Structures are given as C-alpha cells and as structure tokens.
Amino acid sequence: MNIQATLLSLFPDAQEGSWTLRNDGAGPYISAWNLSAPCPTPEALAQQWATIQATYETQQALAARDEARRARYIAESDPLHFKALRGEIPMSEAIAKVAQIRAEIP
C-alpha cells in the first residue's frame, strides 16, 4: 500500500507537513498527524487503497480498450470512410464497420 498516495486521496487539500510517515522495517506508518480531521485507521487506509487500485485498473482497462478500438478504426473503418468520401462505396458501409468494431470491443 502507498500510504502517501492514500492520504493525498483522502485529504486532497492537506498541506505539506500535515503528517509524517516513518518506516521501522515492518512497513510505513503515520508517526505524526497535524490535521483537525481524525487520523485514519489502518483499515480505512486499506479500504481507500483498494479503491485507488480499482480505479487505476479500470482506467487501464478503458485505455487498452480505446487503443484496441483506435487500431481497428485506423486499419478497417478509416479506409472505408475515405472510399465513401470519394464516392466509391456507400457511407453506410463505413458506418456499419464502426458499429461492428464497437460491438466487438464494447
């Protein structure tokens, strides 16, 4: 767990020096707390860290999905779109290809 990132997530308006972290070899811990809000428990920190990790994993999955779609659009639908603009095929073919890619990579 990244305690610093977790505390910054819980207290985004906190100023530098609002807490002090120490590491005695068994892992980091909060050694000084200078906020009016109560110091979070280890359980609260663990729960917030799990939320941070889940959010990060979701963002990574969405970015991978978007990149996969983008690669397919470039390779498959863009050429059809330009053919449609030149009048070589109906625009509906390009639109159908985009819909197909979206269906295959939801």
Write out the chain's pLDDT in tens, 106 residues. Answer: 899 999 999 999 988 889 999 988 878 889 899 999 999 999 999 999 999 999 999 999 999 999 999 999 999 999 999 999 999 999 999 999 999 999 999 9
Maximum C-alpha span of the chain = 71
Residue with tokens 């779109």: 81
Amino acid at 25: G
Distance CA(7)–CA(19), nearest Å, equals 9
The full set of domain ranges for the chain reads 1-39, 41-106
Helix (H, G, I), strand (E, B) or coil at 62: helix
Q: Which CATH class is domain 1-39?
A: alpha beta
